[in-house]
Structure 1
Amino acid sequence: MSLNAHLDELDKKILNALMVNARVPYAELAKKFNVSAGTIHVRVEKMKSTGVILGTKVEVCPKKLGYDVCCFIGINLKSAKDYPSALAQLKALDEVVEAYYTTGNYNIFVKLMTRSIDELQKVLIDKIQQIEEVQSTETLISLQNPISRDVHP
């Protein structure tokens, strides 16, 4: 598998359509793109096997589930060798929904969701800052998320 899968125009059209609605029937896509349903199936399977399509998922609204606080935490580790251990401990926290190993001011940058500021404070004090490998943190609270989208082929 190459790092960048080659997608032709039909692959891109199929991928864009699936990104809008992953449940659209292959027969409907076939009619829309003037090809057979078998062609759509083969193309989708190819994109799955090359890792272009990683899966499908249900998108939920965190606010509707009571998660009112979204924040980003920049984490500085005591040493670069502490990364695997710190990451394993962060992965165990349900509140951490994304994590990135970064260059710049922080070693790790995480996205965290909590139901309240009080819960955020408890997670910071009782969980993240208790990780032995963490030297310091900086928290940025998100006020809104005006842009959220996937990359397009």
Structure 2
Amino acid sequence: MAENMQPDNLDRGILIALMDNARTAYAELAKQFNVSPGTIHVRVEKMKQAGIIKGTRVEIDPKQLGYDVCCFIGIILKSAKNYPSALARLEALNEVVEAYYTTGHYSIFIKVMCRSIDALQQVLINKIQTIDEIQSTETLISLQNPIMRTIIP
């Protein structure tokens, strides 16, 4: 594994192109960057081994699947030692799509997707607030997501 790999301009160009369309053929990238397809393959493999490229995925629009409510929930744990068990319980909930261990007021900050406000209420009452390790929660409902991007290499 190539630790602390510093991508050069070609690597950054490949990353940007793959971020735009991860299905772009290496031959097409090779033409775009005026190198051989083998060079593209080697560069991509090196970035995978270095952990820069963690995988590829299909991007889903939750609203198209009926998930109209996005919210963020700040969680205060009863004790810091409860973090691993609380996290395991939260990870088991399909509605929890992201979780962060944070500093400041909240111990854990999670992103939750639900089909409706009623569904969110059920998740809060019957799932999240039944986790013994949780002292309290604060829910912030997202009205829109005007900026959504990843880091540009």
Corresponding residue of 1:137: 137
Task: State the secondary structure of the residue aligned to 2:109.
Answer: strand
Task: State the secondary structure of the residue aligned to 2:151.
Answer: coil
Structure 2 residue 98 is matched with structure 1 residue 103: no
Task: State the secondary structure of the residue aligned to 1:148.
Answer: coil
Q: How many residues align?
A: 152
Structure 2 residue 43 is matched with structure 1 residue 43: yes
Q: How does 1:40-119 map to 2 (within 5 A)?
A: 40-119=40-119
Task: Using the TM superposition, give the Cα deviation of residue 65 of structure 1 relative to its aligned residue in structure 2, in angstroms.
Answer: 0.2
Task: State the secondary structure of the residue aligned to 1:113.
Answer: strand
Task: Using the TM superposition, give the Cα deviation of residue 5 of structure 1 relative to its aligned residue in structure 2, in angstroms.
Answer: 2.4
Task: Using the TM superposition, give the Cα deviation of residue 57 of structure 1 relative to its aligned residue in structure 2, in angstroms.
Answer: 0.3
Corresponding residue of 1:7: 7
- TM-score, normalised with respect to structure 1: 0.98
Corresponding residue of 1:32: 32
- Tell me, in whole angstroms, the C-alpha distance in 1 between the residues paired with 2:131 and 2:52: 35
- Tell me, in whole angstroms, the C-alpha distance in 1 between the residues paired with 2:16 and 2:66: 31
One-letter code aligned to 1:46: K
- TM-score, normalised with respect to structure 2: 0.98
- Structure 2 unaligned regions, length at least 5: none
Tell me the C-alpha RMSD between the 2 structures: 0.6
- After superposition, what is the alpha-carbon deviation per residue over 1:72-102, rounded to whole angstroms, capped at 9, x for unaligned? 0000000000000000000000000000000
One-letter code aligned to 1:43: R
- Tell me, in whole angstroms, the C-alpha distance in 2 between the residues paired with 1:117 and 1:9: 46
- Tell me, in whole angstroms, the C-alpha distance in 1 between the residues paired with 2:151 and 2:5: 14
One-letter code aligned to 1:112: V
- Tell me, in whole angstroms, the C-alpha distance in 2 between the residues paired with 1:52 and 1:132: 37
One-letter code aligned to 1:134: I
Aligned sequence identity (%)? 72
One-letter code aligned to 2:119: E
Task: State the secondary structure of the residue aligned to 2:140.
Answer: strand
Corresponding residue of 1:151: 151
